[in-house]
Structure 1
Amino acid sequence: MFELNLPRALLCGAASLALLAACGETETPAAEPAPKQMETGAAPEQVEETADEAFERLVDEATTASLRANPRRASYANLPEDVAGGRYKDRFETPGIAGLSERRAIEKEYLDRLRAIDPATLSPKNREGLAILLAGADAIERAYAIADEAGYFLDPDNYLSPYNITQIGGIHIDLPQFMTGGHALFTEDDVEAYIDRLDLFYDQFQGEIEIFEANAAAGVLPPDYAIDGAIANAARFIAMDPSENPLVSHLETAIEDIEIPDKDEVIQRAIGAVETSVYPAYEALLSTLRQYQDDATHDAGIWDIPRGSELYAQLVKINGETDLSPDEVHQLGKREVARIHNEMEALFEEIGMTEGDIRSRLAALATDPAQIFPNTPEGKEELLAYVRELASEAEEVMDDYFLVTPSIGFEVRPVPAYAEDGAPGGYYNSPAEDGSRPGVYYINLRDTAAQEKFSLPTLTYHEAVPGHHFQLALAVDDKDTKLAIRNAASSNGFVEGWALYSESFAEEIGLYDDDPYGNIGRLRDELFRAVRLVVDTGMHEKRWSREEAIDYMVDNAGMNPGGVATEIERYSVWPGQALAYKIGMLKIQELRAKAEEALGEDFDVGAFHYHVLRGGGAPLPILEQRIDAWIAEGGPAPEIG
């Protein structure tokens, strides 16, 4: 999973104009492009911009305007201040409903101006860039319109969910993760800005409380288990003494290598900010959530919120990047489940496990002591070492299948303890735009029994090599493509589809040849993604309960019920997000099969991967146009400088 705490915002907001579109309440007329002035020795002469120059200027303007309104995005990318529209490291976004309105007004202005451009006037590269920026915009506008008419707010940083505070996402999780993973700490000025931001926590939380209460008044509350989980997460974060809080301990570690006159005084100021801003912010959020606990229902799907079924149909289009209806997705999932079950039968026979159904055999494998790392500090370190070894071995062979590999590396780190309970088994955060921060593959060590050894190869190929890390780090490397276009290219369906394709590609090139158990893990994970198509649509379209969805996943994916509950609750509060994986994988595999058939012996997988990933990739409909054009040209190898 590409975890989008702040990188997620780059998909659902900030510089990604494709998803910045929406429907701002403020109508801003489209501005005419200003003529470009060229300096000469004589009087200034006005020279008309070409269509390409006007487009590129507009993209730059839009990027700067969006980043100015979204300083966390600028921090995550560690951008120069001129690109981000001024100083940003000591600020957060305008909080609350006013902030949402401000950002949506900016988004709508630039979307309207992009739509006014005639694609025929642009170069092929910019024509595709415009298409990427506009991809999915109509469905997103429709989703916002549904919510606006029903009187509630969608969360642009959590896949347009109608829930802004849940057990897996929201300011109580996202803001500490940003501070410890996205705020640069290289200079004394960075440290001062860090403390300034700690002092702003209270105002930021008040803004999210305002949105939560406005949604509640409109009849939109997260399910009871989501509120309970959010309460547990928030309470855990402030259960320790402020001096021991991760926001302080992270700063203590970071400033060891920074020249600061009085480090003790800096730490005391940080502790003071945690005491006077951070902890009161969490207490206010906890008080609000507890007030609504009794009002929340146990219904898992958004069908029970105002116009929830209409909203879900749009979220399927947006997150799945598909024109399939929810029912068609449901049936596709059932077909894929049956197909993968048949493939697993053959693999189980290969290792001599022939007794019982798929569920019982997977359960037996998952509890095999040989597949479980000890749930001790030493066992967790052993698990991390094994994952790092898998990633290193995969990196060694990728030059044979990719014409370009990332210049920026990645690290394997445990999920922060305060986020473990709601977090998935693994996720990836992309590198900083300037390369100052590597990619990070986070692995959840809450319970090593939930990370069986046979499941870790596939998780690693998905999150790191050649999955999310290759796609997102190569996007950072591609400075010839505008930042906004690269971010928009990293759409949910494409990003997760590529990562799931990477799992199957690892099998194709022999990374499981000596590991039949790992290959079963690969199929189990693919089965897991197919089951998601069924349970996501089951809850949100067919009105399944949380328990019905858990039972279906346990019966068909052979997973531990405890782990399944965490997954089902995630799909419940991020409607449609989990559809992206399987739908995206199937589309990329379909495009590759089409290329192989059309090109025959001229097909080169390295060239195919290059075109899939160049410029950060592309939303699935645009990717199909790109690959079709490459096939029509005869599948030539790219010229790489």
Structure 2
Amino acid sequence: MTFSTLSRAILIGASSIALLAACGNNRAEEAAPTETSAPAASPETTAEMSEDALLDQIIAESTKAYFRAHPRNASYANLSAEDAGGRYNNRFETPGIAGVEERRAVAQRLKDRLAGLDMDKLSPKHREMAMILTAQDADLAELYSIADDAGYVLGGSYHSPYVFNQISGLHVDLPQFMTQAHGLSNAADAEAYVERLDAFYDLFMGDIEIFEANAGAGVLPPDYAMEGAINNAARFIAGEPEDNILVSHLAGTLEELSVENRDELVASAVAAVETSVYPAYEALLEMLRRHQDDATHDAGIWDIPQGDDLYAALAKVNGESERTPGGIHELGLAEVGRIHKAMEARFEQIGMTEGSIGDRLAALTADPEQLFPNTDEGREELLSYVRELAEEADDVMADYFLVMPSIGVEVVRVPEYAEQGAPGGYYLQPAEDGSRPGLYFINLRDTATQPKFSLPTLTYHEATPGHHFQLALAVDDKQTPLRVRQVASTNGFAEGWALYSESLAEEVGLYADDPYGDIGRLRDELFRAVRLVVDTGMHEKRWSREEAIDYMVANAGMEPSGVAIEIERYSVWPGQALAYKIGMLKIQELRAAAEEALGEDFDIGAFHYQVLRDGGAPMPVLKERIQAWVEDGGPAPELN
């Protein structure tokens, strides 16, 4: 997954502060303007402009307004202060409900200005950009209308109403942001870093305000999510301020940079952690503990006001599907059955014929031959193996893509402080200026959760040709405005592409001599099909957490402890997990239709180029794009 719930809750868009990645320098140091949206051009000016030029102007102005309202996303992209509408690296977004209203106003202003365009006067390229920017407007409006009517705020990752939970929220997001996204190249960057530490308390109090308002409207995370958030927050401030990762990260980086006033800056950071960061976490803990006894054990959002309607809308937005939750549930059951049959053949090939599919997967997962030692040496061995997989995939995929990313990907370990609630792997895209590569994170809290046969598929999903190809190629594409490339990478597209990439790896022979790895591929596809069942099971069919765990253990062959983490994630991010399988099926459907229509003229590289150009596209726009390409004969692009 592209992750940053760090916020992936996605990135991209108002609900996710982070699919973008960052690097450090002093690019963000000019004074920031105070307005939150740029003024529209005068009537005299716009009357003389072509419709394409008007759209270009709208995008340019709205991009600066967006990054002024979302300074963390500006850091992830490592924008210049000019491109971001002013200095941003010393501040966070406006806290609380006022900040939510500000960011929604910025989005509404863009929507209003785009509505004034004459789509018939736009060139094909500009028309598609306008379509990308507006593709989810109606679905998002429906989603937020439901929450507004019920009196709560969708302030969490992936439009979740749960602002703090066991996997996401400021208590998780901000430390990861500060250590992974805030650029540190000189003393000025370090001073801005300390200013952001000083701002922790106000930002936390803003989200505490949202949490309290939602609680008053009858919205609380499930009891296990509350407990997880409490444990995470308490663990983060268990040590002395001077030993906290927020201080040690700054100190270590400044030592590498040989900054002269390092000691003074580190002392300022310690003071900020003492007076802002720790009090913020303490205030959060006080609030969570005060509400803890009021939380229920219900796993689904059907339990909150208008929860059934909200879930249907979330399934549409996060899954980019017109299927009903009930229809998605049936699709999941059918896919589980189909994949079980495919796995049966592979298991016979390696001589495992006894027991259910789930039993055999569990046995293979526990096989010592498939496990790396749970030691520092074993973790390094695992990372080396994954790096070899990524390099091999790069070599093979060059024959199936017309354009390869110019920016590489690095395989790194999930920070130890974040391991407990983090997924098995995730990806952060390169800095917009290319100064920092893509990062493929592997969770090594316990190497038993990363058996060898599972790692090829995880690598093809997160790195090559999955998230890394999609997002690094988007960074390479400077002809398409950044804001368009951001919006294009919807949850459904990004995760659908990554899962399609897993099947592409099998198609091009990366599993040809590795039946165990192919079982890993099928296991992961099964995992995504099971997600359709358990996500809709909890939120639409009112399954308990335990019922969902039992179903996943029985059908996906995973350890109960790992399954519990997954189920609890789906519980607090309703609908997010639907995107993977539904998106994959849509891309495969579009490819099959193109192959049938074009016959021998079908070029797989040209198809992939169309899918990934401009950063991708929301699924309705992608469908129109591929259909137009097919009608034009499926030509290869003219590349410089």
- TM tier, shorter chain? over 0.9
Q: What's the secondary structure of 1:198's corresponding residue?
A: helix
- C-alpha offsets along residues 50-80 of structure 1, whole Å, 9 cap, x if unaligned? 1110111001111111111111111111111
Q: Distance in 2 between matches of 1:618 and 1:465?
A: 19
- The equivalent of 1:242 in structure 2 is 241
Map 1:18-417 onto structure 2 (within 5 A).
33-34=41-42, 48-155=48-155, 158-417=157-416
Q: How many aligned residue pairs are there?
A: 621
Q: Distance in 2 between matches of 1:136 and 1:30?
A: 23
Q: Structure 1 residues 99 and 29 mapped into 2: Cα distance closer, same or farther (>3 Å)?
A: closer
- The equivalent of 1:12 in structure 2 is 13
Q: Distance in 2 between matches of 1:114 and 1:33?
A: 14
Q: What's the secondary structure of 1:442's corresponding residue?
A: strand
Map 1:456-605 onto structure 2 (within 5 A).
456-605=455-604
Q: Does the 8 A contact of 2:37 with 2:65 survive in 1?
A: no
Q: Distance in 2 between matches of 1:611 and 1:266?
A: 48
- C-alpha offsets along residues 178-210 of structure 1, whole Å, 9 cap, x if unaligned? 100110111221111001111111111111111
The runs of at least 4 consecutive aligned structure 1 residues that moved more than 4 Å come to 28-33
- The equivalent of 2:21 in structure 1 is none
Q: Distance in 2 between matches of 1:486 and 1:364?
A: 43
Q: Does the 8 A contact of 1:31 with 1:113 survive in 2?
A: no
Tell me whether 570-579 or 246-255 shows the greater mean CA deviation.
246-255
Q: Does the 8 A contact of 1:14 with 1:63 survive in 2?
A: no
Q: Distance in 2 between matches of 1:375 and 1:260?
A: 37
- C-alpha offsets along residues 454-508 of structure 1, whole Å, 9 cap, x if unaligned? 1000000000000000000100110100111100110000000000000000011
Q: Which runs of 5+ in 1 are unaligned?
A: 17-27, 38-45
Q: Does the 8 A contact of 2:371 with 2:447 survive in 1?
A: yes
- C-alpha offsets along residues 349-399 of structure 1, whole Å, 9 cap, x if unaligned? 000101111111111101100111111111111111111111111112221
Alpha-carbon shift at residue 31 of structure 1 (Å): 8.1
TM-score of the pair, normalised by structure 2: 0.95
Q: Does the 8 A contact of 2:7 with 2:16 survive in 1?
A: no
AA partner of residue 232 (structure 2): N
AA partner of residue 75 (structure 1): S
Q: Distance in 1 between matches of 2:112 and 2:613?
A: 27
Q: Structure 1 residues 540 and 570 mapped into 2: Cα distance closer, same or farther (>3 Å)?
A: same
Q: Distance in 2 between matches of 1:304 and 1:163?
A: 13
Q: Does the 8 A contact of 2:535 with 2:578 survive in 1?
A: yes
Q: Does the 8 A contact of 1:14 with 1:70 survive in 2?
A: no
Q: Distance in 2 between matches of 1:11 and 1:422?
A: 21
Q: Distance in 2 between matches of 1:357 and 1:411?
A: 37
Alpha-carbon shift at residue 267 of structure 1 (Å): 1.3
Q: Distance in 2 between matches of 1:47 and 1:489?
A: 29
Alpha-carbon shift at residue 11 of structure 1 (Å): 2.2
Q: Structure 1 residues 594 and 278 mapped into 2: Cα distance closer, same or farther (>3 Å)?
A: same
AA partner of residue 65 (structure 1): A
Q: What's the secondary structure of 2:410's corresponding residue?
A: strand
Q: What's the secondary structure of 1:111's corresponding residue?
A: helix
- The equivalent of 1:425 in structure 2 is 424
- The equivalent of 2:27 in structure 1 is none
Q: Distance in 2 between matches of 1:245 and 1:514?
A: 46
Q: Structure 1 residues 447 and 15 mapped into 2: Cα distance closer, same or farther (>3 Å)?
A: closer
Q: Does the 8 A contact of 2:299 with 2:538 survive in 1?
A: yes
Q: Distance in 2 between matches of 1:81 and 1:613?
A: 28
Q: Structure 1 residues 67 and 36 mapped into 2: Cα distance closer, same or farther (>3 Å)?
A: farther
Q: Does the 8 A contact of 1:15 with 1:66 survive in 2?
A: no
Q: What's the secondary structure of 1:8's corresponding residue?
A: coil
Q: Structure 1 residues 7 and 437 mapped into 2: Cα distance closer, same or farther (>3 Å)?
A: farther
Q: Does the 8 A contact of 1:15 with 1:67 survive in 2?
A: no
Q: Does the 8 A contact of 2:38 with 2:62 survive in 1?
A: no
Q: Percent identity of the aligned residues?
A: 67
Q: Distance in 2 between matches of 1:246 and 1:365?
A: 37
AA partner of residue 533 (structure 2): V
- C-alpha offsets along residues 137-168 of structure 1, whole Å, 9 cap, x if unaligned? 1111111111111110002x500001010001
Q: What's the secondary structure of 2:334's corresponding residue?
A: helix
Q: Distance in 2 between matches of 1:402 and 1:153?
A: 42
- The equivalent of 1:22 in structure 2 is none
Alpha-carbon shift at residue 258 of structure 1 (Å): 2.6
Q: Distance in 2 between matches of 1:584 and 1:440?
A: 23
Q: Does the 8 A contact of 1:14 with 1:66 survive in 2?
A: no
Q: Distance in 2 between matches of 1:6 and 1:224?
A: 21
Q: Does the 8 A contact of 1:15 with 1:487 survive in 2?
A: no
1:434 aligned onto 2:433: yes
Tell me whether 494-503 or 444-453 shows the greater mean CA deviation.
444-453
Q: Distance in 2 between matches of 1:259 and 1:554?
A: 51
Alpha-carbon shift at residue 412 of structure 1 (Å): 1.1
Q: Distance in 2 between matches of 1:510 and 1:119?
A: 44
Q: Which runs of 5+ in 2 are unaligned?
A: 18-35
Alpha-carbon shift at residue 274 of structure 1 (Å): 1.0
Q: Does the 8 A contact of 2:13 with 2:486 survive in 1?
A: no
Q: Does the 8 A contact of 1:12 with 1:159 survive in 2?
A: no
Q: Distance in 2 between matches of 1:535 and 1:542?
A: 9
